Structures are given as C-alpha cells and as structure tokens.
Chain A
C-alpha cells in the first residue's frame, strides 16, 4: 500500500513542477468585504480570482490581500456562507483596490453545497438535498450526538430518541422505513469517509434494545455543515448503501487569517425526570392483592389479623423516587482555526460528561480533532483530517429485563424498604432496584480514530484529480459486572464479562472532477471515480463467575471461566461511480448518476449492483418572463427518479450454506448445520420518484421547499421463515416489497428583518408525512414480532395486532350473552370483541389495533433577537402514532403477581362494591387473560414538545473587546421543557427495542428522556 501511495504522490508532484516556471506581470489586489445592509466587516469570506489559484480569506477587519495576481482583466469572486456570492470584473494593475459589499441571502443559492464526491452550487442542484448548519443547534443545546442534531430540523427526516439511556443509539428515518430487516439508518459520510455505525458491544444481553452506537463518538461541535441526501438523484452516487438516505457531514476547516480565531464554549446543567407514572400506594396494593386472592394475604402488622405478609404500618416506598436523581451534564469545548502561508489548520477539543437520571447510566466523551490543509503548489493541495475520541458509556440493565433498576422500580411493591435491619437489600420478589443500581454495572469504553489524507491535483484548469485514503478505527472495550449480592449472578457468586471489538474500515478513493463552460450558456460538470472499502471486525470476550467477594470484579479473580470467544469477520466493497451534470442558461439542469457496487456479501453471480439516477431542474425565476417583478424572488421545479440499494443488516456470508463449530458436547468440539444456502441472494433495491419545488417571495423573506416522493423497495432482504421441519428457522432471501409515499414541506420566514440593532424574528417550520405500506411478503405470509407488532401485506410495517376490547362485563348475564372467552370468565373481566363473529374469542379475533407510524412529524423554530438578546424556541411534534404501552401488561394485571406493583388505575377496578369501575377486576390467576395483547394498552402517542428553548445575551462588542474577547455570549437553555401528550407512560418518544422498525413504538420499562436545564457561554478570541 505504501508503495502505491508513494507512486501517487510522485506522479502528482512530477506533473505539478513544470507549472511553476512561467513568469508574468504581477499586481496586488486589496480590499474590504462588508455586509451591504449593515456595513459591518465580514470576517472569513473567501476571496478568489476566478480561473486561477489566487485565493485568500478576509481578516478581522474584513480586509484581504492577494499578492502576485497576473495583471489585466480578472474576475474577483467573494463567497461567504449566508450571503449571495459576489462576482465583479476588475482590472488588475500593480496595486488594485476592490471593496465588495455582500448581500445577505437566506436561500444561499450561490453557496457551494457538498454533494457526493464533490460540491455543486445550490442554484444548480436538481436533487432533494436538505442542508443544515448545525452551529445554531449544537452551540446552545446539550445535544450530544450528531443524529440528534437532525431531530425536528429537516423535512422528511424523523428522529426518535428511543430511550433516556445516555449514549445509546437513536433512530433516524429519512423518508420512512424502506426495509424490514436490512437496516434503516441512513449512511453517514464524514468528510468523505463512510463512518462505522452500529453496535459492536460484546455485552448486549441485558440492555433491551438500547444499543450503543459508534456514531456517538462524533462531536457535533466540530461540524461545519450537514447535508441530507434524500432522493435517488442525490443519494444514488452512494449506490448500495443509499436507500435510507445519506447524511454528509463536513467538519470545520482552517482559514487563512492574520490571527487565528479561537472559540471557547461550555455549558453546565442538570437533567431531571420530568414525569412519573402513578403507581399504587401500600393501601391500594394490599386491597388489590387481598381481593385477588380472596383472603387477606397482606396486612399491617398492627391490624390484629395474622397475614402471610405482615407489613410495617406507614411503610410506603416510592421506588421511582429512590432510583431517579438529578444528574449533571457538562461540556467544555475549545477550537482554533487559523492559517498562514500555505498551511491552514483547525484544531478542536472537547470534553463531555453526562450522568444518567438513574444511577448506573452515563456517558463521557473526550474528543480532539485536527484538520490540516496544505497548499503545496498552485496545483497541488494536500490535507488531512484526524479525529480522536475516547468515549465511555455506563449502562444498567434496562427495558426487557427483571434485573433493571428502573424496570424494578416500577415493579417493586411499596410496602418494603431498601434494606433490612442488617443492611441487606430487601428483595421479596424481583431484585431490589436500588441494590441493582448500586451493585451491578457495565461500561463500554471506546477509542475511535477517524481520519483521512487527501490530495487534490489541478491537472488542467478545469480538471481536478483527487485521491484519498480514509481510516475509521473503532476499538470498544466492554465490561459487565453482576454482583454476588443482587441480580442475575447471585447463584453463581458474581459474574463478569470483558470483551473487545476492533472494527476497522479502510477506504481508498480516487476521483476526477471536471467542469467545462462552453459559451455563456452551456455548463458541463462531472465526476468519475472508484473506491475500495475493506471492513474488518475482530472481537473477543471472556466471561467468568464466582468471585471471592463483591470487592473482586475482574475475571482474573473468578473461580471459573464460563465462556470465551474470539472471532474475525471481514467484508469489502468495490465501487465505480460517475455523475454528469449539464446546465443550460443557468436555468435548466439535467444530472445523471451511475454507480456500480460489488460486495463480498453476495454470491459470485450477484455481487455487482447498478444504481442509476437522473434528475431535472427548471429555475423558473430566471426566465425572462419573471424577471421584471419583485414578488417571486426564486422559483424552481425539480424532478428525479433513480435507484439505490441496501445491504445492511445481513450477515457477511448470508448466501452460503454453512456448518458452524461450537456445537460442543462433553467439552469436545462439535459441528452443526448453521445456515441454508441461497446462491441467488442480491441487493435490496429502492426506486424513488421525487418531484419538488422551491419558491421564495419578497427578497427571499419567505422561502418554501416542498417535495413529494414515492419510494418503492423491492427484493427486500428478509430473514424469511422456512418450515422448521428443515432443521432451520429462516433463510436470508430477497422477498417482498414495500412502499413509502410522502410529502414534506420546509418553510423559512423572516418575519421581521430589522438589522442587527433591531427586532428580528425568523421562523422555520418543517412538516413531513410518510405513509408506509408493506406491499408484498413471501407467500403473503404475515409474521408477528416483539409484543404486538406484525408485518402483513397491505399494512404499515410493524403495525399493532391484537384483540379489540369493549369495556368490561358488568354481570354474569353479559358474560353469558357474549362470545365464549373462558369457562371462568366473570363479571369484571375484559370483554374482547368477537371480530370474526364465530362466537369464540381466540387467536383468529386479533386485528389491527394501532400503528406506530405518525401521520405527521415536524418542528417549528422561532428565533427572535433584539440588540444583544436572542430567544429561540424549538417545538417538535409527532401526530397520529400509537404506542403499545407494554409495561401495563404487568402494572395493569391487578392481582396477578404480588411481585408487581399495580398502577394507581387499580383504584377504579370493578368489584361488586364498585360495579361502575372502569378497570378490570382483581384476579390472581386471571382466567380470562385480561392482560393479553389488546388495545387496552394501545395509547395515542401524539405529542408536542418544547424540545429546546434558549435565551441568550451577546455582550456589546465594546465590552467584549475590553475583556480581550472578540465576542461573548451567555445563555440559559432548557431541553424537553414541556411535553403535551395524552400518553400515560413516561415518555411518548420511546422504542423499547431500539431502532428496530418492526417493533417500533413499544414501551416496555424503557427509561425516559430527562428534562435538561443548562447554562452556557460562547467566547471568541
């Protein structure tokens, strides 16, 4: 490899040298760049002589100096984000002055937008791309992860934080879910390197669906821009992994400036649970269970009755209060951007520390980044980006577990305390929640190295060659300890697991970019390239048990080693791609993309997939007939169609028939069939049609973007069930299809634009609607997964499937007159609907009882400023989705198991004394199975949330300068300040099984998100 790199560098250098020879008349160009409205100097604007390599960046006074510019007629171009690009013709003499005033441009039509393997002017982009400047989002809010930045900010993107577990994975869906099991997270590309995503933990068992994600290691503070490629035209150049959209992330770079720009920021805050569900107190608990058992099993020790369980009077423990705690969060970040001569640099570091609102949870991150650019010659630019992250996630068992502190705090009965007289944890039924939180723990430490080296060589004035090598190395150390005192390892004298995963991705990439203007009206641009990506994952883990005492927690002290594992897995991807774009008269653009990907995951005959796309753009506002008016400032229509692929989520060798080792007996090795062959296995493909329009009115003060799309996914990669009589339960196959149709709308309005010293009010609204339908399954076979989630043709993915209820029986007569439920069904039991009318309530009566997919999601941001004061309020909402509140299977089964405390709803249970009760009767053996999967536990999951509110104050420049600062701002921020919902559980934003779409929208003892209040500052030097 080194030999190859050396060759490339030598070749590039050889071509570069001769260009430095020719000599010409030279002159100097100086000037100042200012804001046209305010006259304020613009710092950091890019100034360049078009068609040459003469370029620089404005300094603190907005001034620039371009030395040694060839004399004569030249074109000066000034580019700065948020302003329209200025292009002026100048006559360069020995000393030329050119001052430029830039016009603010909220649509940023002339801004260069990062697209796959290159950049394009926004004006000419024909695909559906949403851009997000994250600085406004992350500088103020305690947003820990890059995927969270997208929440509620981008039309067509639905972000769900699955739980309140710090550092855990977040569900991001770009235009719905297009796959059943091949994965639906978008592809993240950081400075051109597809990032390692996903969960590589070696200790997954106890944490429900709340996986950790390698993506969490990316520090959102260092991001310059985020582009979300949504339609096929934009995304198809990423081919085989673009079905779920692509998130292109560009990190900040250095600037050429006299003095480096130093930024320091930090915040400190407290997170707290904002909601609690109402559980029974001791009195109610005793009533319910004694009623259920028909005899007084529980009673107070002073009531003069002998009970099986004598409860100390006054004992009434609120277990949720015992495990919840106020948890601090703090972040400190600093960065320096600068440059001199040929070198530009960006250096940043940050430290984040977040505790969980339940002991045992937390997330810490230390992050450093160095981005370097080196202009080696007029033609050759070299650069490197390196980010180092040290992460630590602390975890406790959660969700679907009987050993989780939070789960057990819901379940534990109120009539006992934490400790007995001897200081031992009291666990009459489930393990004591406080004990679990204090004694058992798990942590994952990661070291994440993300970097690339690249060189761009300007072969001809309009052709650039670029080569890069990218590395994403992720090392995760997992550690789990279960104490001998409490929890799952009591019987084994304590248990521990230590594991390591080394995940390495190497990406080699070479591209040729080309731009050709012919005449004044014909602009051609294109890119061709190839890349090779090699992924390896090496992992090992060891488990041991039986420790001398709870003091000893590492396996070196374990009496026996119970499990060990070491493994190497590898997969690779070879790709060729191209894009050709043609613009006529700056009004009509056509773009065509083609990518071919070969993956080692598929059989030899189906390795390569081809992913073409095409799009058209018509910028109507530049037509002559719209020029002489000033109402419509921009109007464009976009149309695209294309194909993308998906190969996530399947095994590396899913097409092969395999035997596995590890089927051991008597500690001698064994072999067993592991997988059926499917030599025909191939890519899952998504064809997407998109039509969209961009329109802006009145000097761009109101801008609207609207898109409609139809995504049709076919050859779904599904682990399809096969008759188990074969000895296998499933085979990975391309079966079935799915459709997502949707509409998305983005509105930006500058309601008041009064200049920096006046009242300003901007509003951003986005609204998305996506309708998902599974259109075909193998042999039309539906399947059920999770609790009540079902996948069936003609229905949305993972809709809720169960019994319908119709209140409760009030009398034996009602029981007798209804369809048969059970011999022992009695008044007070739930009446289930006989959907098929056969007179019997059985499996055949289950039906659609809800869907986890919302009708609409979106966000509304209002940003107001007046002089130094700014206020931003971000509302985020989801409407029309249901939640299966699975926790209620246990909390609302009144009397079923004394280990489970019941919901306070039990107070209104039916009984002969409370014949109008709305809740089912208390019963110990529940013959009617009142807690079965039914719409009793389906709830409206719609919500409106004040996700963020920020009140900030920027000190006047005079004060800041007196303190030696360029600027100074302080702010007060609240996250999850208010939530409006009818949902009776903790938090309507919930997925107990993490990001799995087939089991979406189920709550099962899932830790809720906290409310976070922070105070922070930003300082520039």
Chain B
C-alpha cells in the first residue's frame, strides 16, 4: 500500500510537469493546428539556462529561493525569445502551405536547437546543483511509508498555479478572447480587428514561458539536464495532450496527470507482474528462467518510456478526439 501511495505521489509530480508542457503543445495546436515539435527543445533550453544561472549563483550564499527564482527569471525570457524566433522564421512563412511543410521545418528546427544547445552546454549530462535541501515528509504514520519531498510539493503547487493563471488568461482577458477567436476562425477574427500575427506570436511565447518553468522543474526533480532531454519529454507531453484532447486546455492538464500516473504505476508494477518467477506460478515453462535469474522480468522499469506511446496509439485508435475533446475523428 505504501509503495502504491509512493508511486501515486511520484506520478502526480511527473504528471504535473507533463501537464505544463502539454499545455504548450495544446495551445499552439488549438490556435494554428500545428504540432510544435520544437516545444520539447524549448523546455530543454529553459532547463539549461536555469542550470547555468543557478550554478553561477550557487556559491554566492544567497538564499536558495532567490537563486532558483533568478534561474527561472533568466530562463523565461530566453525561452520566450526562442519561441518567438521559431514561430517567426520557421512557421509563419508556411502558415498557408500544405501541412507537410511546417511539420518538416518543425523537425528541422528542433534538430538545430538541440545541436546549438549541445555546442553551448556540451554533450554530457550536467547535474543541477543541489541548493535546496531535499526533505521528505511522511504522508502516513508508518515511519518507512510513502513520502512526499519538498521539491515535489513545490512542483505540484507551481504547476497548479500556472494552470490556473493560464486558464484565467485565456478565459478572463481581452487577449484570451482574441486567442479563442483566432483558434475558431482566423480570417473572421482578423476582420473583427484582431491582429492575428501578434496573437499567434503571443501564444507561442506563453507556451514557451510555461515550457521554461517546466524545464526548471524537470531539471531540479531529476537533478540532471541533457541536450536531448526535450525529445522524450516533448513526446510524452504531446501524447498527454492527445490523451486529454488536443486543443483543449483542461484536457492537457487531465492528460498530463494521467500520463504521469500511468508511467509511474506502469514502471512500478509491470516489472513485478512480468517477473519470470511470478509468471512461473501461473504459466508453465518459466522455471528455468526463474532459477537462472529470479530478478529479471519481461517489462521492467527500463520500459517506462514505452507506456506513453502505447497510450498514444490506443487513444488515436479508439478515441482520436481524446478524453475531453469534442472534435470529430476526421480532424485527428
């Protein structure tokens, strides 16, 4: 039971990060129906910039909170600028081109960003300086039971705050009205006096800012950053957005959290379920394998990256509009 609780806590934390990244995908998709492949790379750049700032300030003796905030405030503008430049150079000229064209530039941009980051930060894993003391808190009365760490609490709270702020922005402000108008019918929105280009740029920049914060959260949660970290993270977050219903903000949040839970529970339990000795109890023929290596299993935690794709394929086959999406299957 304690292990289960622990997996839930870990899954929730991970899910919150996925949700924030998925919001970036879903916003851009909602407004111009484009999968922004480079979004994962924006998250990576956010993590890298924050890492640089935090490392530089780590020895200064400033309070940890200030240092982390400084890292985030440095990462956000860099990511927003990246998002803006990418939209301006690679996507805007192709807005009316066939669908294949912006997809291909998106992949190209993402490869370019990855390797530019590699030129700056090197090809090795870099470790985030541990400036915040890791403190686990017990959830249950059991002293060996499930814990939630201060970092996890901060990640979950920050994510919730950001999601709330984003919902407020989209549903309560003039800019939000303009964004929703452009996503429904860009040309009519333009006739109504909405500056379509600036609304789209704004959407990219907001998505990138969310990505920057997500990058810092991932970096500080795992303690490491890498120039290719954005690729898998982006794919999983995209799968989360599709799971929730792409283009739907609430869907992205729901999908992200579900995805985090699926991955965490899958990694935690599939290994035990497919352990050769467990299988030996139910099926014949596993005895020799069990005796040879009792700890090996068919789908251990080393397969955790697979779950996102399996979910993605299942969703696309059985419910292409996602859990909360309303669009017809033809759009998918």
Are A and B co-members of a single complex?
no
